[in-house]
């Protein structure tokens, strides 16, 4: 208690001086226009203290209002940030819908020109295994699909259906090793068989060693076998390897369709 009283003594003394100065000022103002020496001394001590207190109070008020404004600014920033995130999500959805619409317009335009009965389907599943190149689409027997129907996009051939369910179908891709398509080199009309080789390449087999074949030649379906329509683009020649003692060229074919990025396809219903 003594320490507390000792601490408050200077403050109490200053407050007493302040009150005394105010009282003397008020009294003198009422009684006489002149101030005495004692009053002038009291005022000279109290007035700087009063001005300092007023200045401190003004600064504290400014700091407080600044803090309040800063809190409001931070809250507004958080609100705007959340709004930006919502708008960014909506923009992403709109962009994805626009891109999908463009792909569908190309597919439907291709169907209208070449395959009026083609069924548009969406890829809903991909086989993750390394030895199988198949995808699942969301159309099946209820949409007039059956086994061994060619599947394509507006860019070219994709593969053929191998399994059918009422609402789904499995598509064997060109790059699967089980796939085989009778094909022609468009420029020279040389015939061969396109089979799967790797995830992104096919191989054109049984092309006579004396056939003129060059990198960049277009490879199309020959129409034999009644599965793949004649003239449908398969891909382009990516490399030609000649064996001195062989009978055939070794030809690598780059598929026209990026089979790793399939999203929508056309099932070419006869």
pTM: 0.63
Q: Spell out where the chain has E strands.
A: 119-126, 134-137, 150-153, 156-164, 169-173, 180-185, 191-196, 202-208, 218-221, 233-241, 248-255, 264-267
Supply the DSSP symbol for 172. E
pLDDT in tens, 143-154: 989 999 999 998
**φ, ψ for residue 87, nearest 5 deg:** -65, -35
More confident of the two residues 214 and 109: 214
Identify the band that residue 31 occupies on the pLDDT scale cut at 50, 70 and 90: very low
| Structural contact between residues 21 and 46, judged by C-beta atoms closer than 8 angstroms | yes
User: What's the token pair of residue 269?
Assistant: 């219903």
Q: State how far the Cα of 58 lies from the Cα of 52, in Å rounded to an integer.
A: 10
How far is Cα 146 from Cα 164, in angstroms, rounded to an integer?
Answer: 6
Is domain 119-267 classified as CATH 2.40.10.340? Answer: yes
State how far the Cα of 197 lies from the Cα of 247, in Å rounded to an integer.
20
Residue 53 predicted with pLDDT over 80 = no
């Amino acid at each position: 208690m003594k320490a507390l009283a000792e601490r408050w003594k200077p403050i109490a003394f200053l407050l007493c001086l302040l009150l005394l100065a105010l009282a003397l000022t008020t009294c003198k103002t009422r009684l006489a226009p002149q101030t005495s020496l004692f009053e002038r001394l009291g005022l000279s001590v109290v007035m700087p203290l009063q001005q300092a207190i007023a200045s401190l109070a003004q600064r504290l008020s400014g700091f407080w209002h600044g803090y309040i404004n800063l809190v409001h600014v931070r809250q507004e920033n958080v609100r705007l940030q959340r709004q930006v995130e919502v708008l960014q999500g909506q923009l992403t959805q709109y962009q994805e819908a626009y891109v999908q619409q463009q792909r569908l317009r190309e597919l439907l335009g291709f169907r209208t020109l070449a395959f009026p009965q083609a069924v548009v389907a969406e890829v809903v599943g991909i086989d993750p295994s390394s030895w199988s190149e198949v995808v699942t689409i969301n159309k099946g027997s209820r949409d007039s699909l059956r086994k061994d129907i060619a599947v394509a996009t507006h860019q070219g051939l994709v593969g053929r259906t191998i399994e059918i369910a009422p609402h789904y179908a499995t598509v064997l891709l060109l790059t699967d090793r089980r796939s085989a398509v009778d094909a022609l080199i468009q420029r020279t009309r040389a015939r061969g068989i396109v089979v799967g080789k790797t995830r992104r390449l096919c191989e054109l087999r049984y092309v006579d060693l004396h056939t003129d074949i060059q990198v960049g030649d277009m490879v199309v379906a020959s129409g034999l076998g009644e599965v793949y329509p004649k003239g449908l683009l398969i891909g382009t020649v990516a490399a030609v390897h000649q064996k001195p003692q062989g009978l055939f060229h070794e030809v690598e074919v780059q598929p026209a369709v990026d089979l790793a990025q399939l999203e929508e396809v056309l099932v070419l219903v006869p």
